[in-house]
Every structure is written in C-alpha cells, then in structure tokens.
Amino acid sequence: MEDKVIERSYLDMELLRFTTAGSVDDGKSTLIGRLLYDSKAIFQDQLEAIERASIKKGEEYINLALLTDGLRAEREQGITIDVAYRYFHTPKRKFIIADTPGHVQYTRNMVTGASTANAAVILVDARHGVIEQTIRHAYIASLLRIPHVIVCVNKMDLVDFKQDVFDSIQQKFHEFATHLDLHDVRFIPISALLGDNVVDRSKNMDWYQGPTLMYLLENLYISNDYNQLDARFPVQYVIRPQSIEFHDYRGYAGRMASGTFRVGDRVKVLPSGFTTTIKGIDFWTDHLDSITAPQSGTIILEDDLDVSRGCMIIPEENGIKQGQDIELMICWLGDKPMVPGGKYALKHTTNDLRCMVKEVKYKININTLEKDYNDKSVGMNDIACITIRTTKPLFYDSYRQNRVTGSLILIDEATNVTVGAGMIV
C-alpha cells in the first residue's frame, strides 16, 4: 500500500522541461552533472565510472560532464554534439533536461531540444561575457517562445567571484534582450565546477541574495505556460472496443493542446464544422468532469459524427484560423538545402498532409539577427521566414498564441527525414 502511495505521488508530480545552451566550453555538461550529483540523482556505480574515467584522463576533479557527454567523439573533444536528455526528480518536481550543443553548426540540435522546454538555461562564461553565441541562443529562446530564461554566469571562480563582472554581464544581456520577445529573465552567478549557487548557496558570493539554480527550477511557476483560454483537442485515435460490455462505445482519444473542456460543453468538430455536446470524458477507467492541457484522455460526443485522426475539437464559439497559404518561421534541419517550389510532407498536431514551398521571404542572419532579403537560399541550421501552400486547409493558431497548434514539421517524402521545424506567424 505504501509503495502505491509513493508511486502515485511521483506520477502526480509536476514536470518541468528545461534546456541548456551556451558556447563551447561554457560548462553546460558540467552544470548538469553538478545538478545530478549534488541533488543525489545519480547512482553509485555511475559516480564510480566517471571517477575512473576522470583519473584515466589525468584530471584533478571528478569530470561531471562525462555524465551527459555520452558519445565517444564528445568525450574525446570535450564538447557536446548531440542533444542529451537526462531525467531526474527531487521531492518537489520531476525534470527532463535537454543538454544541447554550443557550436554554431549544431543550431538545429538546440531547436530540437528547446522546442518543448518550459525554461532555457543559458550559460555565459564569466571571463568572456556576452558573445555572439549568447545572442544567438537568446534569439532562439525568443523564437521558440520559451516562457522562462535563466542566465547562469558560470566560472565565477575564475574571476575571483567579483560582483562587478556579474553586474556587467547582466547589463549587456539586458541591452540586446530588450529587442527580443523574452518575458521572464533571471540571472544567477555560479561555479558549476565547485558547485557554487547550483544546488547549495555559495559562501564565496555572499553579495548575491537571489535563489540557487535548483531552488529556482523547483519553484518556477509554469501552470500559465500553456494557453488556458483556447481549448484545442486534436484527435489521435478513435476508440471502438467492439465488445459486448462496450457495444456502443465510441470515444475520441488524444491530448489537450490547450485550454479546458468540461462535460456538457458545446463543441465544434473540424474540418466538418458540425457542432455537438461533450457527453463524457474518460481516462482509462476513470470518468472525469473536465480535461485540461496537457492531459490526455478520451472525449465522448453526444452525436455520431464523422470524426477521425487529424480532426480537431474546439469550442463552438471559439474560432481558430484556417487556410492553405501559411506563413511561418522555419529552422532548416535537413542536410540538403530547401528547394523553392519543392513538395514536402507536413505534420501538424495529429494531421498529416502535403505542402509546397511557395516563397522564401527573408533569412535571419544568425550572427547579427538582421533580416536578409537578398539571400534566399536556406540550408542546414538556417532560420528563415517562408510561405507554404498546403493540399488541404490547415486549422491552426499562431505560434505566439499556442505553441502546440502553432507548430509543424516538414518531412522529405523520399527519405522520411524531418527537414524543417516551423513556427506559424
């Protein structure tokens, strides 16, 4: 019985997804290793393994970066190449960390890791201050509308824990951040190597009165990160048990993209446009009164309508954009450049369709963040504004309004490789 209570409390814990970003050698992997180590989230055999690896490499300290840098090439070069996901929890919260690369050529990896994040932890080397890569990562956090940004000024031990160094970096970040769409920005001076202000408060920086990184991650208010105004339920699967016990059961399973639905709500089913009432909401064997993003469940409708995967259930009075000519910001992930006029498969929520690239409006100069209207070639890691035409109407919100219904991916039909991540304007 006690085990069931513990399991239930763990399952009911709030989940925070956060990504780390920074330039090469800013200490992202070391910071994550320190978080896991100081919060007692690694096993003894893992600790012993990285101790042996550190001694073998002749290092003075336990190299906590080895906890996340799992690829052989990463360990040899001392850099992060792929997105490394790590899972851990504290008594207050569950966490999923996406450790993303710092190199310019791995911009696409950062976009992948940050696309579902509630928070972005951007590392700045205290010795170098704000550099181009810092601006680049802040821009991507802004583009992906990550609700919370935590700027960790790392390696404070190498600048003698001086407050004026921290204050100067904070001021410079604010100067360019005013031009970006960032709402909640926090600053923490840390030393990932020594553990200052990561999990435990630093004795070397008594001038800093703010929270430690772990305290901030545990207490960030993320309930408002989801759009709770516009209810959207993309249908994933039609449940028809075809059994004697559930002979007439017909439910529509999926995950709430945003908002809340309650039993008795009047709703509209797209693309048909027919209206009906929610008769019931099920989750496994439980009958619910309501379902709220990001919960999954099964909605039962009062009337028998033609509803299948790719359809969307929305409130009767709450409109949603629809059209075939869509403008979006895209990060190109493919090895081959985008083909103007090229045809691609498109996935939007649970909907599968095809599209054609109509026009490249401009490309973002990732170093200066200026719009380049002359260079229309879009290659790997490029970010551009394009328009596409879909084979059938798309039902969507702008990415600014809804990160789920406002995002899509483009797929190369020949190779089935995801080549573009799009945010609808």
Residue bearing the bigger pLDDT, 326 or 370: 326
pLDDT of residue 102: 57
pLDDT of residue 227: 82
Closest CA to 349 of 417, 287, 305, 294: 294
**Residues 308-322, mean pLDDT to the nearest whole number:** 93
For residue 201, give the DSSP letter: P
Tell me: pLDDT of 107 over 80. Answer: no
The predicted-structure confidence for 338-366, as pLDDT tens digits, reads as follows 999 999 999 999 999 999 999 999 999 87
The pTM assigned to this predicted structure is 0.83
**Residues 306-310, mean pLDDT to the nearest whole number:** 94
Number of residues that make up the chain: 425
The rounded distance, in Å, linking the Cα atoms of 101 and 107 is: 8
The rounded distance, in Å, linking the Cα atoms of 384 and 58 is: 45
pLDDT of residue 103: 57
pLDDT of residue 82: 53
**Residues 84-100, mean pLDDT to the nearest whole number:** 85
Q: How confident is the model at residue 40 (pLDDT cuts 50, 70, 90)?
A: confident
Give φ, ψ of 219 to 5 degrees: -115, 5
pLDDT of residue 225: 80
Q: How confident is the model at residue 329 (pLDDT cuts 50, 70, 90)?
A: very high
pLDDT of residue 224: 79
Q: How confident is the model at residue 325 (pLDDT cuts 50, 70, 90)?
A: very high
pLDDT of residue 1: 47
**Residues 289-309, mean pLDDT to the nearest whole number:** 94
DSSP states along 325-372: EEEEEEEE--SSPP-TT-EEEEEETTEEEEEEEEEEEEEE-TTT--EE
The rounded distance, in Å, linking the Cα atoms of 399 and 106 is: 23
Residue 271: how many other CB atoms lie within 10 Å: 15
Q: How confident is the model at residue 42 (pLDDT cuts 50, 70, 90)?
A: confident
pLDDT of residue 391: 96
Least confident of 5-14, 16-25, 173-182, 274-283: 5-14
